[in-house]
Every structure is written in structure tokens, then in C-alpha cells.
Chains A and B, each alone.
Chain A
Amino acid sequence: MDRASLRFTWMYAMSQLRLKYRYTALGMFWNLLEPLLYLSVLSLVFSYVNRMRVSDYAVFLFSALVPWRYFEKVVSGCTDAIVQGDWLLKQMPASPFSLPLARWIVASIEFGFSFAAVALILLLVKDHWTMHVIVLPLSAVPWAVTALGVGLCCATLFTFFRDVRPVVQIALMLAFFTAPILFAPNLFDGASVQARLLVWHPLTYLAALFQKPVYAGTWPGPADWLVSSIAAALALTLGIASVRWARSRLYFYL
């Protein structure tokens, strides 16, 4: 992607962000309000179901659910980004990276707002804070890179095989319910199948980047950083390679 394409992508993303809230009464305030409402409802429902203290469970749930929601939004948004960008790719010599990247930028900015909203809630419900939360901006990086990589792969695949969308939705659902986002990873006995599966689940390590500093008050471990970074690098490499491979073929499938 050249510099001109990057500049256009940024401007397009900003215009999409502006348009999203243009005709709403609360405008950009929805960026804060929407995650607040969503997470409040979820924490109440799950703390009631799990019979846990609302404050404890809310802190645990929010810590990994916020980055997960961001990941899910990027992957779902990127999936049809190239196909819906035919207005651009069939009329201008634009980079196919621009369209998924713009969606990633919009979701990343919204993720920032969501995080601010969550921090606001946690300030009210969490008893005490530790300095480990300073690592959170760094924790967001592997999530963002992995999301972009997976999003680029899905965008390419969807252009050639439109059956990909329901598969992506199911895969996201499967990943969500099998990852330690709604439940703590130590829920299962160490020798159990579930515990062994969690060891191989990349989201276990990605989730730990947020859960440990926010909920447990500890630093993420070296394994968390290593696995998350490898997953991110692999996803991004595959994503970029897939779009590059498809670049000259895209026009014929739009």
C-alpha cells in the first residue's frame, strides 16, 4: 500500500465514523453509551446465572469481553469489506487493502471508546486497583493485529466464496464459547480434556493479556505474550499474503 492509499484509507475511515452517528440525537456519545449498556446487561445476567458477586464477575467479564467484541467486530466487518467496496475497486485503481483497513480503523477507535467506558464502570465496582493496568495499551496490540490479519483473510475468502460468511459467524461463536472469556481458565481440573484444550486455544493467551492485569492484578506471563505475538504475526502475514495473491483476480469476482 502506498502513502496515497493510506491517506485515503484514513480519510474514508473517518468519514465512515462520522456518518455512523451523524443522524443520531446522542451522536458520538453512543460510542460510550453502547458498550456501557451492553456490558451492564451482560454482567447482571451472568452474575445472576453464575450466582457470583456482580462486582467480581463484572470485572472478570469486562476484562476479556471488551477486546473480544472488538475482535469480532473487525472480523465480521472486514469479511464483506472488499465485496461491498466494488464501487471503488471497479472504478479506481485503489488498493484492496483500503476497505478492510478502514473498517479496522473504525472498530479500533470504537474499541478505544469502549475501553474508556469500561474503565469508568470498573472504577466504580472494583475495590482496589494495581499498577498492572498500565500494560493494557500494549495488551491491545496483539488483539488488534490478530483481528486485522483474520479480517483480511476473511475478506479475501468471502470475495471468492460467499459461503464464507456463515462459516465465519459460526467459527467466531465457537471461538467465543470455548475461550476463557465467560469463564475463568482455572474452572476445569488440570487433567481434564477441557483444561488441555484451553492450553491450545490461542484466545486463552490473548484473553490473559487483559484478564491478568485487570482482574487478577498480575502481569501477563511470558507464554501469554509469546503465543499472542506469534498468533498476531501469523494472522497478519496470512492476511496480507491472501490479499496480495487475490489482488489481480478481485475485479473478476466483484
Chain B
Amino acid sequence: MRSTVFELQDVSVSFRRNAVEARSLKYFLATRLRRQPKATLEALSNVSLSIADGERVGVVGRNGAGKSTLLRVLARIIVPQRGRVVVDPSRRVVPLLELGVGFQPDLSGAENCLLAGRLLGLAPACIEARLDRIVQFAEIDGFIHEPVKHYSSGMYARLAFGLAFDVEPDVLLVDEVFGVGDEFFMEKCLARVRALVAGGVTSVFVSHDLDFLQAHCDRLLWCDRGRLVMDGNPADVAGAYRERRGVFED
């Protein structure tokens, strides 16, 4: 039996609405004096799920359905207001929620690899040993010692991908980041992803690309208005999602 990597029980996350006004003293006093409840948006509502070691899970849903919030809860970036989250502490979880997290525009590509690599838990010596491979993957030979602020967006994305895929994650959390770069580089990235998942890396992909999710996942979650409305075989969930155009009616 495969061990559990993530276990979520009745997890709820809500954000305060009218955030700009809510910061003012006027708003604070007005809501207190009128005893108005704070306006909130429930991004996740009583979500329970379990993800086992080696599973390839896709998450689909319309904009604002709570997919990215769910991924941030799994990555332990958001602590939910209610519910319980258990993450296997022995796993190296690599969240790829945005490309180039930790990159500083004025640092060179190599310096950024060391810094961002450290953020992902790798020692500088370890990154230095892999730098040639990262540069080769990213196809930015000759630019690695230039500040990344001078890189084109494609070069920046390639370096970020090169680094993220070279840190040997146990768990990969990916939020819709495959839309950048040219198609040949994307094919290279997808080949690397396929190699990672084939090697048993537990992965969770958030995407609007149902074809990609059906091709690369063995389980699909459908989120709608903060709720987990369907969880199952990718073909079944994708079929239902397409049929109802992403809106789940109770």
C-alpha cells in the first residue's frame, strides 16, 4: 500500500473582501459600530482529500474556483483557518507556482541559481555541480553570468524551469506554468516532467489544459467555488467538466 503524502480534512480558507477599504480606520470603526460581519470570500470550503505517494493529480476548475489556493495549502504557504493538513515531512516538496521564485533581477543567472537553489533546499556546491546541466537545459550558454534582468522572458523562464526540474523533488506542485517559451522548449520541459513522474515523483498539476491533464495525470480533481465537486478518473472528470462547462450545480 502506498504511503500518504498529503491528507486534508475539512479544510476551509477564506479571504477578506474589500481588502483596500478594510485596512482603513473608517472601515474598522464602521463595521464595529454597526456590528457588521466582515465580508469574506471562501476560497476553499470543507475540502477533504488524500494524495498518495507517486500519484499524478490534476486540478481543474474555472477561474476563482480555488485551484491555486488548494495548491498553496498543499505547499504549506497558506495555513487554513479551519481543518487539518498533514504533509509527510520527509518529502522534498517543490512548489512551482510562479517561474523564477527567489530570482533577483540584478543577480546573474548563476548567482540566482545558487540563491533559488538554496531556497529549494540545495547546497551551493550541489547547485554548482549541476550548473552546466541547468545551463544546457535552459539553452542560455554564454549568458549565465549576466544579470537576469537582461534576459528575455523566454530565457528567464527556461532558466527557472531548468533549475526547478533539476532539484530532484519528491513532490512537484505545478500551477499553470507551462504556457511560456517556444513549443520546442515546452516539449523539452514536458519530456522532463514525464521523466520525473515516471520516476515516481508525486505531482499535482493545476491547469486549464484538460488534454494535458488527461495525458499526464492518473487522477483529476474538479474544483468549483471553493468546493471539491468531483474526484476520480481523468476521463470521467474531464467529460463531466466539459459537459457542464465547468459549473457544478448542486
Question: Which of A's residues lie within 8 Å of B, judged by CB?
Answer: 4, 7-8, 11-12, 15, 18-19, 22-23, 87-94, 162, 247-248, 251-252
| Segment among B100-108, B190-198, B212-220 that sits at the interface with chain A | B100-108
Inter-chain contact B106/A22, CB cutoff 8 Å: yes
Complex Cα gap A92–B104 (Å): 15
- Tell me whether B76 is interfacial, beta carbon within 8 Å: yes
Complex Cα gap A162–B97 (Å): 27
The total of Cβ contacts below 8 Å across the A-B interface reads 55
| Segment among B110-118, B136-144, B237-245 that sits at the interface with chain A | B110-118
Complex Cα gap A19–B102 (Å): 14
- Tell me whether B27 is interfacial, beta carbon within 8 Å: no
Complex Cα gap A251–B14 (Å): 11
Q: Which of B77, B93, B123: most chain A CB closer than 10 A?
A: B77
Inter-chain contact B118/A8, CB cutoff 8 Å: yes
Complex Cα gap A88–B111 (Å): 17
Q: Nearest residue in B to A247 (C-beta to C-beta)?
A: B79
CB contact under 8 A between A87 and B75, given known A8-B119, A11-B115, A15-B111: no
Q: Which of A7, A11, A90: most chain B CB closer than 10 A?
A: A11
Inter-chain contact A11/B118, CB cutoff 8 Å: yes
Inter-chain contact A251/B107, CB cutoff 8 Å: no
Complex Cα gap A191–B4 (Å): 71
Inter-chain contact A15/B16, CB cutoff 8 Å: no
Inter-chain contact B124/A11, CB cutoff 8 Å: yes
- Tell me whether B23 is interfacial, beta carbon within 8 Å: yes
Q: Nearest residue in A to B78 (C-beta to C-beta)?
A: A251
Inter-chain contact A93/B111, CB cutoff 8 Å: no
Q: Which 7 A-B pairs have the closest CB atoms?
A: A248-B79, A93-B76, A91-B101, A8-B118, A11-B118, A19-B106, A91-B97
What A residues does B61 contact at CB under 8 A? none
Choice from B23, B79, B115 contacting A251 with Cβ under 8 Å: B79
Complex Cα gap A250–B121 (Å): 23
CB contact under 8 A between A252 and B15, given known A22-B106, A92-B101: yes
What B residues does A252 contact at CB under 8 A? 15-16
Choice from A15, A22, A87, A89 contacting B115 with Cβ under 8 Å: A15
- Tell me whether B98 is interfacial, beta carbon within 8 Å: yes
Q: Nearest residue in B to A251 (C-beta to C-beta)?
A: B78
Can you identify 18 A-B contacts, CB atoms within 8 angstroms? A8-B115, A11-B114, A11-B115, A11-B118, A12-B118, A91-B97, A91-B98, A91-B101, A92-B75, A92-B101, A92-B119, A93-B75, A93-B76, A93-B77, A94-B119, A162-B23, A251-B72, A251-B77
What B residues does A22 contact at CB under 8 A? 106
What A residues does B226 contact at CB under 8 A? none
A80 → chain B, closest Cβ, in Å? 15
Q: Nearest residue in A to B79 (C-beta to C-beta)?
A: A248
Inter-chain contact A92/B115, CB cutoff 8 Å: no
Proximity string of chain B (186-228) to chain A, C-beta cutoff 8 Å, 1 when within and 0 when not: 0000000000000000000000000000000000000000000
Complex Cα gap A18–B102 (Å): 16
Inter-chain contact B15/A89, CB cutoff 8 Å: no
- Tell me whether B95 is interfacial, beta carbon within 8 Å: yes
Complex Cα gap A12–B112 (Å): 10
Q: Nearest residue in B to A91 (C-beta to C-beta)?
A: B101
A194 → chain B, closest Cβ, in Å? 35
Complex Cα gap A92–B121 (Å): 12
Choice from B72, B93, B104 contacting A19 with Cβ under 8 Å: B104
What B residues does A4 contact at CB under 8 A? 121
Complex Cα gap A67–B102 (Å): 31
Inter-chain contact A92/B102, CB cutoff 8 Å: yes
A38 → chain B, closest Cβ, in Å? 25
